[in-house]
């Protein structure tokens, strides 16, 4: 009986086929020996790290931002300049306060008169008017609501045109970017990353994910989810710099692992070809963490066991194809191969 073996390797979409496991079990002892001889490339199951990262591109953003808008014809003086660092409460702009000061004085006199008359309702009404007058007068002095950097002061284009002053809080800095919707399930709060800032390429900064968007949005032909990582506060990092984050999405240390190519998808899970006394026999395994190169083995194998490194591609008469895709073992692109034994259709 002519034996047929079809192999799908690399990052190909994995499809579970019932005949796979049956083909393994129906293989004769002679067939197993021949397969082992054909697949001389074996590996020992050992311990190591299973690490996978995801690259995200974005920009540096501040903790908060505040924009003042005021009438250009009311400006008395601007006391700061673009790029200047200011303290919380510091005066930024003074506006003409003639009308507001007059209204405040009149409101103060009205309160005094109401108190002299002694009518409670009248006193209360005048006190409320005084509070409004005080607020209007205070609004003619623009103060920084927090410490930060002045990033913009627009010029008026006419006598009555509005002007803007923008202040950003740089006490905390963040790297904000987006991930594809297919990668979104792999990111989580608290994950660590390393950031490289384009204008400062000789240094890396540690990053921790502090926010993941709750909404997927369209971006060109893709659907993306926003992610935010916290950067260390550093005066050399400017708002708007381009940043690249390498997020560690899988990090399993000193675990039992096997190469991805040694795995096969079977109806009841994953399998490897275990070599014992020169004979390759299918063994079912349970996977843990996975990356592009390795998969953690949580059951089914022991350290030191010998397995075929890539059994399907070594089998007699086997063929292989490779295609791009995202289907496969959870947690990484592509996935292990799918092997069809002699009993496969």
Q: Which fold has domain 54-62+170-251?
A: Elongation Factor Tu (Ef-tu); domain 3 (2.40.30)
Lowest mean pLDDT among 21-25, 106-110, 253-257, 301-305: 21-25
Domain 67-168 has CATH 2.40.50.100: yes
Q: Is 240:258 a contact under the CB 8 Å cutoff? A: no
**Residues in contact with 30: Cβ distance below 8 Å, sequence separation at least 6, in sequence order:** none
Q: In what order do the strands lie in the sheet with 338-339?
A: 319-321, 6-8, 338-339
- Give the per-residue pLDDT at 95: 96
Give the pLDDT mean for 335-342. Answer: 40
Question: Per-residue pLDDT tens for 147-198?
Answer: 999 999 998 776 668 899 999 998 899 999 999 999 999 999 999 999 999 9
54 CB neighbour count, 10 Å cutoff: 18
| pLDDT higher at 253 or 36 | 253
User: Please, where in the chain does CATH 2.40.50.100 lie?
Assistant: 67-168
Q: Whole-model pTM?
A: 0.62
| pLDDT higher at 325 or 112 | 112
Give the pLDDT mean for 284-304. Answer: 95
Q: Which two tokens stand for residue 131?
A: 């509070």
User: Please, where in the chain does CATH 2.40.30.170 lie?
Assistant: 54-62+170-251
Question: Per-residue pLDDT tens for 304-322?
Answer: 999 999 876 543 333 333 3
337 has pLDDT over 60:
no
User: Alpha-carbon dihedral of residues 280, 283, 289, 290, nearest 10 degrees?
Assistant: 40
238 has pLDDT over 50:
yes
Question: With pLDDT > 70 as the criterion, what percentage of the chain qualifies?
Answer: 78
């Amino acid at each position: 009986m002519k034996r047929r073996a079809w192999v799908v390797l690399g990052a190909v979409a994995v499809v579970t086929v019932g005949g796979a496991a049956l083909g393994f079990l129906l293989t004769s002892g002679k067939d197993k020996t021949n397969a082992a001889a054909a697949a001389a490339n074996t590996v020992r199951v050992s311990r190591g790290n299973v690490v996978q990262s995801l690259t995200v591109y974005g920009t540096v953003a501040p903790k908060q931002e505040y924009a003042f808008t005021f009438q250009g014809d009311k400006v008395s003086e601007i006391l700061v300049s673009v790029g200047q660092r200011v303290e919380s409460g510091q005066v930024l702009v003074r506006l003409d306060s003639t009308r507001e000061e007059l209204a405040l004085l009149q409101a103060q006199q009205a309160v005094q008169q109401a108190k002299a008359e002694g009518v409670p309702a009248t006193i209360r009404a005048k006190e409320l008017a005084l509070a409004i007058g005080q607020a209007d007068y205070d609004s003619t002095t623009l103060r920084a609501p927090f410490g930060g950097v002045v990033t913009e002061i627009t010029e008026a284009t006419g006598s009555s045109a509005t002007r803007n002053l923008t202040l950003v809080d740089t006490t905390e800095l963040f790297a904000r970017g987006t991930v594809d919707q297919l990668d979104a399930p792999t990111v989580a709060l608290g994950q660590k990353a390393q950031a490289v800032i384009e204008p400062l390429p000789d240094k890396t900064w540690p990053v921790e994910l502090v926010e993941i968007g709750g909404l997927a949005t369209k971006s060109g032909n893709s659907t993306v989810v926003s992610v935010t990582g916290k950067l260390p506060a550093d005066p050399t990092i400017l708002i708007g710099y381009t940043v690249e984050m390498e997020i560690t999405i899988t990090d399993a240390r000193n675990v039992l692992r096997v190469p991805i190519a040694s795995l096969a998808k079977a109806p009841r899970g994953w399998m490897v070809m275990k070599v014992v006394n020169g004979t390759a026999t299918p063994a079912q395994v349970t996977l843990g963490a996975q990356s592009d190169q390795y998969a953690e083995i949580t059951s089914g194998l022991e350290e030191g066991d010998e397995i075929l490194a890539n059994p399907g591609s070594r089998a007699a008469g086997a063929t292989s194809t490779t295609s791009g895709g995202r289907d496969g073992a959870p947690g990484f692109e592509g996935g292990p191969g799918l092997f069809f034994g002699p009993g496969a259709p």
